[in-house]
Amino acid sequence: MNAAILGAILSYGALKVQGLYEDDRIRKFRGFIAGIALGLVTAFFILIAMGFLFKIAHTYSRGWILIWFSSAFVILLVERRLVLPP
């Protein structure tokens, strides 16, 4: 499975478990920032652990992983800010 797809699935699951797709939680932007960070960090560490356990971590660069993490964080924040009313 492609690591980007797996990362997206893991991120969705981690954010869903935290309740970040519920209306009440989405409307509170400040609490949402910490939730996004925690969800992405969770997905990040699961991806790293899976790469280590399946001995495929060497096929993905650290730069790619850091770019994925930081861009996902920024994109989610911007998307929520644009979608939510002030």
- How sure is the predictor about 62, in pLDDT bands with cuts at 50, 70 and 90? confident
68: confidence class by pLDDT, cuts 50, 70, 90: confident
- Number of independent structural domains in the chain: 1
Q: What is the mean pLDDT of the chain?
A: 80
Q: Are 43 and 14 in contact (CB under 8 A)?
A: yes
User: If pLDDT is split at 50, 70 and 90, which confidence band does 74 have?
Assistant: very high
Q: Is the pTM of this model over 0.85?
A: no
By residue range, what is the domain housing residue 8?
3-83
pLDDT per position as a tens digit, 30-57: 667 888 888 888 888 888 888 888 887 7
